[in-house]
A and B are shown apart, each in its own frame.
Chain A
């Protein structure tokens, strides 16, 4: 997959009305590309695993 370009990241930021300096934009683009590269393999993980609840369930909480 091709890396995101700074212009694309700037457009994404504009949708949230976020302003970025030139230096911010360069670093955010590197960080976002790193995230995407690291997280895309997660799609290959088993889909029938445990449910993705945000926090561990303590069985004693319900008692």
Chain B
């Protein structure tokens, strides 16, 4: 990989699209550049499950012909990749599971179709926690690794999307967020990740985790890219009756840099409490202070029900997920990863009375979040309580109910409130830990007010340089002699 190639690969999708339009770089050159990076880096990062070099090069040649014919498509020739949860015509869609390892859809998911119609070129399908549920112990396609430190988890469930975006294995990626699955890998890998309002983006052709909370959205290296991609994928889909009929705003036009007078509430329970580590708290409070210097009004907000969000979310999400999985759980239990199987078995045995209590709690938490957003333009808190955990910690056995509660509920309180409320939320880089791992700032907005979320995130991004930092993962594949990294004790199964 050349230095010039690296510079090009790390450019934003917006900049790459402009270079293509000006014919300063060709779609074929861009596809070859990213395929070379995947070839050299993904042996260790394991961001991809399936790479599509033949199809991508064919699409690049078509894009060159379209460019010569004056095609104005906004992402013409820009390579992207998607979580292996979105259907792709003629390309296997595995959900990161042995159960679907041979499944080949006959049509694209709406979000994939909209991006390719906008000229973007699909490079391949990205690794994820099995069935987008989180908690996978052994990944069938290899353990995805954090590009900032390969011994650490990239977050999930859209882990491959976070890795590929941060390590510039694509110009941008798509993920799916039910309880944080876009925002967590964005925070842990040091990228931007946007969970849209529930109902804004079609989920047609997207395998469901939890139908009442699933959302598709972008992971990108800049806020502007996230806004551009959202503009292209949002809006009503006749094939998905739950999508909104609202017109899609021009999100990039909202990035004015002016946030004077906006009211931002710092959520006390998730910033001061929630097990938030001191260096995460310091980074997030420094971000709040910076927004204040840019003209926003920063205020303390208390949402006392939020500590219940993690368990409430898990009860609702897992119960919904199990309805789709129960048949396989009975007939093919050995084909699941042990973490997924035990999560689904637990949910299938959860008493109905408690499930309905969780639905009541969701309504109360949603109301509390929306009440706070009635008096504040945005809510602010850390995306996660801590930087990326070590991979082996995620693989530890669950030896007591206290361990289970800490791992499965306690650490989910930061991202799940927006999910329970159906509200949009973004994670943007806001610093690094003393160990060199990224920290994410989360901004939560009113439903369908993505423009405001992006506006404030962009103003913060432009006032800082966290998004300009790049990881430098080692070249090579597992088993090569030049590893020099600390992770060889955690080999793939």
Contact = CB atoms under 8 A, between A and B. Distances in A.
A13 B367 contact: no
B343 interface: yes
A13 to B, nearest CB: 6
B209 interface: no
A60 B404 CA distance: 41
Given A42-B354, A52-B363, 13 more contacts: A12-B349, A17-B330, A30-B398, A36-B351, A40-B354, A42-B308, A49-B360, A49-B367, A53-B363, A54-B212, A54-B316, A58-B246, A61-B199
Contacts, number: 136
Interface string B317-329: 0000000001001
B405 A34 contact: yes
20 contacts: A19-B330, A20-B345, A27-B397, A27-B404, A28-B346, A30-B399, A30-B400, A31-B408, A34-B404, A35-B350, A39-B358, A42-B354, A45-B360, A45-B361, A49-B360, A50-B363, A52-B362, A52-B363, A54-B359, A56-B366
Contact of A39 (B315, B401, B421): B315
Interface string B242-280: 101110000000000000000000000000000000000
Interface residues of A, number: 42
A55 B215 CA distance: 12
Chain B interface main SS type: helix
Given A38-B405, A63-B245, A32 B350 contact: yes
A39 B341 CA distance: 21
Interface in A5-63: 9, 12-13, 16-20, 23-24, 27-28, 30-43, 45-47, 49-56, 58, 60-61, 63
Nearest to A19: B333
Contacts of A40: 354
Nearest to B448: A58
A12 B398 CA distance: 20
A52 B359 contact: yes
Contacts of B398: 27, 30-31
B251 to A, nearest CB: 18
A8 B398 CA distance: 19
B35 interface: no
A30 B348 contact: no
Interface size class of B (residues with CB under 8 A): 35 or more
B317 to A, nearest CB: 11
A24, A31, A32, A55: residue with the most chain B Cβ atoms closer than 10 Å: A31
Contacts of A46: 364
A42 B357 contact: yes
B347 to A, nearest CB: 8
Nearest to B318: A35
B338 interface: yes
B343, B345, B351, B421: residue with the most chain A Cβ atoms closer than 10 Å: B345
B356 interface: yes
B463 to A, nearest CB: 32
A55 B320 CA distance: 13
B345 A18 contact: yes
B314 interface: yes
A17 to B, nearest CB: 6
A43 B403 CA distance: 23
Given A38-B409, A58-B448, A51 B363 contact: yes
Contact of B311 (A19, A38, A47): A38
Given A19-B333, A27-B397, A53-B363, A32 B349 contact: yes
A20 B342 CA distance: 9
Q: Please list the 8 inter-chain residue pairs (A to B) with the smallest Cβ-Cβ separation, ordered nearest first.
A: A38-B311, A56-B422, A34-B404, A52-B359, A33-B401, A31-B346, A34-B405, A54-B212
B245 to A, nearest CB: 6
B300 interface: no
B316, B356, B366: residue with the most chain A Cβ atoms closer than 10 Å: B366
Contacts of A54: 212, 316, 359
B342 A27 contact: yes
A61 B244 contact: yes
Given A39-B354, A52-B362, A60-B246, A28 B349 contact: yes
B404 A31 contact: yes
A41 B397 CA distance: 27
Contacts of B246: 58, 60
B447 interface: yes
B361 to A, nearest CB: 5
A49 B361 CA distance: 9
Contact of A58 (B199, B326, B361): B199
B181 interface: no
A63 B448 CA distance: 16
Nearest to B351: A36
A28 B342 contact: yes
B312 interface: yes
